[in-house]
A and B are shown apart, each in its own frame.
Chain A
Amino acid sequence: MTATFALIHLAPGDPFAGALDDPRVTQAVRDHWRHVYGFDRSLPDQYVRFVAGIARGELGYSIARQEPVRTVLARAIPNTLVLMGIALLLSFGLGIAIGVVQAMRHGSLTDRAIGAITLAGYSLPDFWLAQLAILAFAVWLPLFPAGGVVDPVMHPYLGPLAAALDRARHVVLPALTLTVLSAAAVARYQRSALLDVAHDDYLRTARAKGLSERQVMLRHALRNAAAPVITLFGLALPGFLGGQVFIEKVFAWPGLGALAVDAVATRDYAVVVAVAIVGSVLVAIGSLLADVLAALVDPRRRTGAIARPLPPVPLRV
């Protein structure tokens, strides 16, 4: 929070830079509005007021949008959660499945080919992939709308079923773009986690019991290799918020990410801070969720017998 405050005040300009720094506006007018919103006070003074406001649960007022930050957030959060939820589910489902297939064919041509693809997916710039997706599936092959949550013209006239379909069509491209980017990371984690346990004795015991390779994988290996992927899941929750910043902007998806981009551009301090707070709440929720999941999967973690290991590669979603 303090870091957010410091960063945004280090950036040049203030919320009135665009509107008031016009040479035709007199200095008196500028000073008047800056005084009304408190930007003529000293930074330490502004900081104290900032912290006090947040402590009271007041998120403040968006100058750029001329409405309370609470209202702005309430509109953006559901959009972000829908996109995040779908993309999280898809990318972890798909990523784990890919990792399992790779680990079962470890060293084969299939494994290496998929490895090359996931490495590419892992290193693609998100905004580039997003624009490519729009170009491919909205312009060249116009299967899906290029942006927005619903059809801006027709949506109010659609029946309930058609309206739901309209929403679904709009979520496809941004969700798929996010999924491609993060499923690649999940697959790489899952594969390396499975290879880490591949030589463990209990898998040999499972084979000695008469289990098929697939049963050995799904009943024993996957559960023992869950920890790194669960840790990744906990980090992915806030990570997706960051990953969605550019995706939402490109797809004109009115969520927290797009909101953050606009707020920074217009020096809308209160909104930037509010988004940062939502981000830190997601960090806490993600970490809590990861701990709960890890304890569910591994009984030794319930008693603190072993600690949650750190993920083997840095996170990028």
Chain B
Amino acid sequence: MSAGLATPASAAPLLSVRDLRTSFRTDSGCARAVDGVSFSLRTGETVCIVGESGCGKTALALSLLRLLPPTATIAPGSSVEFEGRDLMALDASGWRAVRGARIGMVFQDAMTALDPVIRVGDQVAEVVRIHTPAIAPGAAWARAVDLLTLTGIPGPADRAHQYPHELSGGMRQRVMLAIALAMHPALLIADEPTTALDITVQAQILALLGELQRQLGMAILFITHDLGVAAALADRVIVMYAGEVVESAPAELFFAEPHHPYATGLLRALPDLSHPGDRLAVIPGAVPSATDWPRGCRFRERCAFAWSRCEAEHPPLYAISAGHESRCHLAAEPGRRVVTAASTA
């Protein structure tokens, strides 16, 4: 999926996120779920955000569309620009014109994300009617059936009359996709859309997504904890850890030369089909709590290479090569990786 490469480098990005900070008020303090995230996305490009559960991926996605619960705050310095507009400055009516029309969103669990008491056809038709006020109800329904056809639902005219609980998980996720794509958005945000599905259905949905992206020319921000999925889809991979971006690279480069120890750990945890008997490496420990990120490098407690500098100094995003960044002090002292690797081998 290299449609993004066709866009001239000088063109402004479709989506540009700068220093996004989102926190939640909780009983145990302020949870800094997204803590200074920056990235951009060009028209037609697919960016995968990868990271363990709890690292802030969903909070990031919800922040982009302002769908956060009332306990959340976005810090004043955060900036999100989309199609040249500052989303942080949008009022309620401005948001209504963006949500569902220019940006579509697919949520992780389609069972709970669809309204249980409304026919799926009506749920798809609703987004059409909202953004096309003049449309006749019959036409909106016909469009909904077309959209369900587009997402590969068999017997869409009959399925449209059914309720979410009468459909399988894969079918429900296709309905979500039909809703998100109904108005041909410039950007699709998909938050772990296939996590709840079994592996065959997952593969079908991913193939469908790629096919629809080619047809509609949209950009995709795909959120997953599965690097295998990222490998299949991404133009660029962004690894998140503890509310921050820890590595960002073009997909080929990322899979060939990952830099951050967390990223290399994730890759080693991936089942390798060429060596089926291998035991999977697991990163020891767990993601720290968002209310209390560790000082210095947030990954240091789980890192095999950590030394004194990692505790003393919070690492910036170092440029490794053109378009490749890593939040690890090893970028400044590459010799340490060799030394530590040799001593632990």
Contacts and interface: CB of A to CB of B under 8 A. Distances in A.
A206 B115 contact: yes
Interface residues of B, number: 31
A27 to B, nearest CB: 70
Given A200-B112, A305-B165, A210 B96 contact: yes
Interface in B135-173: 163, 165
A211 B113 contact: no
B107 A201 contact: yes
A31 interface: no
A204 B127 contact: no
B105 interface: yes
B126 A219 contact: yes
- Most A CB contacts (10 A, CB to CB) among B100, B105, B115, B126 go to B115
Interface in A142-194: none
Nearest to B93: A212
B18 interface: no
A209 B130 contact: yes
Given A219-B126, A300-B165, A305-B165, A208 B114 contact: no
A300 to B, nearest CB: 6
A224 interface: yes
A297 interface: yes
B96 A211 contact: yes
Contacts of B115: 202, 205-206, 220, 223-224
A199 B69 contact: yes
B280 interface: no
Contact of A299 (B99, B105, B107, B117): B117
B19 interface: no
A207 interface: yes
A211 B163 contact: no
A196 interface: no
Contacts of B179: 205, 209
A283 B92 CA distance: 46
A202 B67 contact: no
B97 interface: yes
Interface string A6-46: 00000000000000000000000000000000000000000
Contact of A207 (B97, B99, B114): B99
Contacts of B80: none
Nearest to A298: B117
Contacts of A211: 96, 100, 126, 130
A205 B105 CA distance: 8
Contacts of B98: 210
A304 B312 CA distance: 61
B101 interface: yes
Contacts of B67: 204, 207-208
A204 B104 CA distance: 13
B283 to A, nearest CB: 30
B209 interface: no
A224 B164 CA distance: 14
B208 interface: no
B163 A299 contact: yes
A219 B123 CA distance: 11
A314 B131 CA distance: 43
Contacts of B127: 209-210
Interface string A86-101: 0000000000000000
Contacts of B62: 204
B3 interface: no
B118 interface: yes
- Most B CB contacts (10 A, CB to CB) among A205, A206, A297 go to A205
A208 B100 contact: yes
B165 A209 contact: no
B301 interface: no
Contacts of B104: 208
A299 B122 CA distance: 14
B109 interface: yes
A295 to B, nearest CB: 11
B116 interface: yes
B65 interface: yes
A223 B119 CA distance: 13
Interface in A253-294: none
Contacts of B117: 223-224, 297-300
Nearest to A208: B105
A210 B109 contact: no
A298 B100 contact: no
Contacts of A215: 130
B105 to A, nearest CB: 4
B166 to A, nearest CB: 8
A205 B99 contact: no
Interface string A120-152: 000000000000000000000000000000000
Contacts of A223: 115, 117-118
A107 to B, nearest CB: 9
B100 A209 contact: yes
Contacts of A210: 95-101, 127, 130-131
Contacts of A205: 105, 107, 113-115, 176, 179
26 contacts: A200-B112, A201-B113, A202-B113, A202-B114, A202-B116, A205-B107, A205-B114, A208-B99, A208-B100, A208-B105, A208-B107, A209-B127, A209-B179, A210-B96, A210-B97, A211-B96, A211-B100, A213-B92, A223-B115, A223-B117, A298-B117, A299-B116, A299-B117, A299-B163, A300-B117, A305-B165
- 7 closest A-B pairs by beta carbon, nearest first, are A210-B100, A209-B100, A201-B112, A202-B115, A210-B99, A209-B127, A208-B105
Interface of B: 62, 65, 67, 69, 92, 95-101, 104-105, 107, 109, 112-118, 126-127, 130-131, 163, 165, 176, 179
Interface of A: 199-202, 204-213, 215, 219-220, 223-224, 297-300, 305
Given A207-B67, A209-B179, 11 more contacts: A202-B115, A202-B116, A208-B100, A210-B95, A210-B96, A210-B100, A220-B115, A223-B117, A298-B116, A299-B117, A300-B116
